Structure 1
Amino acid sequence: MFSFFRAVGVWLVVGFISQLLIACESTTVEPARYGSLEGVVLESRNNTPVVNAVVTTNPATSSFLTDAQGKFTLPALTTGKYTLSIRKAEYSPQDIAVTISEAAPTAVTVVLERANSANRPPNAPTLPSPADEATNVAPITLTLRWRVTDPDGQSDSLRSDVILYESTSTTRRQLLSNSRDTSVTVSNLKFNTIYFWQVTVRDQAGATVRGPVWSFQTATLPEHRYLYVREENGNTDIYAADVAGAGYRLTTSPFIETAPQLSPTRDRIAYTSNATGQFQLYTMDRDGTNARRITTLAVEGYSNPGIGYRWSPDGAQLVYAHYDQLYRINRDGTGLTLLATAPAGRHFRECDWTAQGNRLLVQTIGSNVFDSEIYLLNADGSNPTLLVGNLPGRVDSPSFSLDGRQLLYSHDVAGLNDVNGRQLDAHLFLQNLDGTGVVDLSGGTTSTLVGKPAGTNDVAPRFSPDGSKVIFVNRANDNLSPPEIWTIDLSRQNRVRLFANAFLPDWK
């Protein structure tokens, strides 16, 4: 019993002494660490120094003023995080977070903006071009212009947003966004359409002003008699032109749009495009809008890159070649009907359709483009009759005269059978359907009949709307110079060039 209490007492004494020893130990104190801050304060509009700006910190230290170069230095700052506050009258205050380290001085650049109370918003844009409510404005491509000014004399730093929308649509086209430009070119405008546009101007302080809503109306659709194809910068598109030669571009996609034909009812233009990877048949309005694909079976075959089709005389249907098959289709894409199948080893290529007797002209070719024949068929594909057999050299582009009694086509009289399709001396020929009365429209036999230039080919002929002329393409036989579109009278006189760098014409 005594031993137990004695032991307990010993442990209590030991514990008490231990606590005294712990209490007597000294507390370790870390030494203070210091860094510094160097900075510069600049004006937001022109990056000039801001003099005498007040710089303070939180946690609080001393306050400082920027010098003539906008610079300031805060020495001997305890390391850690601070909030730096910069203030000066007429400027919006700026607070930024910084971390001070013991290494090299921390460097900061502070940009101050003029306070809104000191900044005046820009003036509303003026001097629109075309003028507000202008009419008969040239369509398709147009440059819009306006003037901007700033009461603070900072017009060179103003930026503009521009929107454009049609009167019949709520869809807005953003033409410019935050741009220093005071003009913008807009394309793909429609004929006879009212457009509205508005410019919003913004200064460097962010003050904005919306200008008035201006409007203009484009010109009415002109009577364009010609359609053709042109290749520029590797892009092939469709163009239209009037009798004076003034024209415009109808298609602008990165794909090939080709072989345009105006319907007999003059309301839609048919053409082909390889936008799907194959040449399909499309139609569009005469101003190039409202394009609509109408085929799923391609307009393709031997040497037929989308050129083998034709409108029906009433404009309700089209006939087209799909490899060795000849189809008829309604203009809305319905009613696809197989009319004929080409002989074994041959494909259909170019074709035409006349109301006189409701008949078709079709060209068939073998795997070589110079292996060509021209047939006459009924409109339902029946009763094929050979009109032009396989002559030496290429035979292409059969078409009817207006009365349906004659056949127009091109033939390389040099007789070159080139597997790549090259021709040396292609002429235009007109003959009766029975093979009689052959006339060489390209040959010059007297002083009044000039004929085509040597070393060139006349190809792709079609009759004029009144039947007195032929429109066609002339190009150098090396195929290096751009093709040209010409016309010639049936009397073989008055050979006239219409368009340079153009091919596959249509004339309605």
Structure 2
Amino acid sequence: MKSQLIYKCLVFAVFVVLSACSEDKIEDGVTGTLTGLVVSSGDNAPLANVKISTQPITSTVFTDNAGLFEITNVPVGDYAVQAELDGFVVEFEAAVIAADRESNVIFELSREVLDNNSPNTPVAISPANNATDLPLSLEFVWSGGDPDEDDTVTYTISLQNDQNDEVLELQTVSDTTLTVNSGLMFSTQYFWQISADDGVNPPVLSAINSFETTAIPNAEYLFVRKVGSNNVIYGADLDGNLIQLTSEATNSWRPRKNSAIGKIAYLQSVGGQTQLFIMDEDGGNKQQLTFAVPVSGFDLNEVDFAWEPNGASILFPTLSGVRQISTTATTGVTTSFYEPAAGLLVTEIAWSEFNDIIALKLNDIEGYNVSIITVDIDGNLLDTVFDGQPGAAGGLDLNIDGSKVLYWYDISGFELPSYLPQDARLFLYDRVSSSTTTIDTAVPTGRNNFDPRFGPNENDIYYTDKPRAATATPSVFFHDLGGAPGNAEQLLTNAAMIDYEQ
């Protein structure tokens, strides 16, 4: 960067007096102290290693890291104090030194700007102007640069939208490419402009370009993904386009969609309790349903609830049994639906779309001594699906007419205090023939299959596959019940609690 040192031509009356009047002379033997601070103009940042000198000549010192300096034993009199640092304009200040007193001066040094060129005007390259149907993860590309090779240019992208007053600003140094992975909204027109700033000249702005993001994906299936310490609910369409439905700042899990009313129910931690919520399919209009009677169970990661097929109410587990709540409730009032025998809890619930068949999983306080039963709409026992086996079981789902019950069972039979299944496998119970079939997903030793769900056509099932370790990362698979054994395919990584309803 070309630069030229600029010296201000200052005419101080003190110089005139010193040169023209013989009466004003530095007194011998009487001294004071000169102190001061040097900062950069504009941001008031302290400047170190600034050379400080005086006229008449006394001592020459340099500022410390805090921009401070001190000259002691300065003879009493009038002085011109000079501050000098490469890259900055030399400044002068007048100072009067009095006997045994401290005189203080402050310098604000301005950067040299002569012969420095402004950055090149940025030109947007991608996304193309007026582009449409763009994903929420975008790479912004532009041309730029600076005629002065030593200059460092900071680029700022400003994004405004047609939905609200929010302005999203993103910065990069020197690079003319920037990837945005979050912060954009679906079905939104954005206006973007690039600012180039070399720290010397005023910023240079590009022309304003625009683009539109893709429409909100139809959340065909729902799942949960761990983000930091919280569970976050996502939706996805059949092309794999994702939509985040709950915030990373809250712990939300176990999504269940009801297509009849276009709502999604889910669980969320609220003040140390687990409450039941509902929201629209795009994540809007979130509403808390339960209050005084929260969702509860032996393990909140295992509990599950069920929609009434028409969407009018939800059955959910509590420590005292199954409660029912209206989805239009605003006060949290619930009614009792089913009370298990003493010493047992209801942990999971499923409700068939037709015929009002309801499946319940009962267990003890440790999660074992499991029974899976079906009851009618009045809570009367219909079938005992699973009973009298050691180990963990769960993951209930019913097919459309309630004739089949899907569940998992840990065939190891172990009952570990940590409730850590070792060999969970999938099973299908036929209520008509009272028979149970093992579903062969070719799961290897050391892995578990959990939370199976029927797909919309009931030929496919969707489930979570996870290693034995409690902290292992889960994945979602699907399996064709009519296909060859072991035909499972992976659908999602870092995902669990799949729900697929149409």
TM-score range, shorter chain: 0.7 to 0.9
CA distance in 2 between partners of 1:288 and 1:99 (Å):
70
Partner deviation per Cα, 1:182-234 (whole Å, 9 max, x = no partner): 53635142222212233444453462444433221111234453322233555
- Give the number of aligned pairs: 443
Q: Shift of the alpha carbon at 1:460?
A: 1.0
Q: TM-score, normalised by structure 2?
A: 0.73
CA distance in 2 between partners of 1:504 and 1:161 (Å):
40
CA distance in 2 between partners of 1:392 and 1:248 (Å):
40
Q: Shift of the alpha carbon at 1:503?
A: 1.8
Secondary structure of the 1:358 match is coil
Q: Shift of the alpha carbon at 1:367?
A: 0.7
Q: Shift of the alpha carbon at 1:137?
A: 0.8
1:175 partnered with 2:156: no
Over alpha carbons, which structure has the higher Rg?
1
Q: 1:500 to 1:203 in 2, by over 3 A?
A: closer
| 1:441–1:492 Cα contact (<8 Å) kept | no
Alignment of 1:36-435 (within 5 A): 50=5, 52-57=7-12, 59-60=14-15, 73-75=54-56, 79=76, 96=93, 100=97, 111-113=109-111, 124-139=121-136, 141-149=137-145, 153=148, 156-169=151-164, 171-176=165-170, 183=178, 185=180, 187-205=182-200, 207-231=202-226, 234-243=229-238, 245=240, 247=242, 249-265=244-260, 267-274=262-269, 276-288=271-283, 291-296=286-291, 297-305=293-301, 307-334=303-330, 336-343=333-340, 344-379=342-377, 382-385=379-382, 387=384, 388-433=386-431
* Structure 1: runs of 5+ lacking an equivalent: 1-44, 64-68, 443-449
Q: 1:342 to 1:102 in 2, by over 3 A?
A: farther
CA distance in 2 between partners of 1:440 and 1:239 (Å):
30
Q: CA RMSD in A?
A: 4.1
CA distance in 2 between partners of 1:336 and 1:188 (Å):
38
1:452 corresponds to which letter in structure 2? V
Residue 496 of structure 1 aligns with which residue?
A: 489
CA distance in 2 between partners of 1:137 and 1:54 (Å):
59
CA distance in 1 between partners of 2:352 and 2:6 (Å):
88
Partner deviation per Cα, 1:263-284 (whole Å, 9 max, x = no partner): 3248443332325433333344
| 1:85–1:96 Cα contact (<8 Å) kept | yes
Q: 1:464 to 1:53 in 2, by over 3 A?
A: same
State, as a whole percentage, how many aligned pairs show the same letter.
25
| 1:370–1:419 Cα contact (<8 Å) kept | no
Does 243-252 or 361-370 show the bigger shift?
243-252
CA distance in 2 between partners of 1:395 and 1:197 (Å):
53
Partner deviation per Cα, 1:355-376 (whole Å, 9 max, x = no partner): 3222322222221111222333
Does 411-420 or 234-243 show the bigger shift?
234-243
Q: Shift of the alpha carbon at 1:435?
A: 7.0
Q: TM-score, normalised by structure 1?
A: 0.72
| 2:192–2:210 Cα contact (<8 Å) kept | yes
Q: Shift of the alpha carbon at 1:288?
A: 4.3
CA distance in 2 between partners of 1:492 and 1:425 (Å):
23
Q: 1:487 to 1:76 in 2, by over 3 A?
A: closer
Secondary structure of the 2:56 match is strand
1:50 corresponds to which letter in structure 2? L
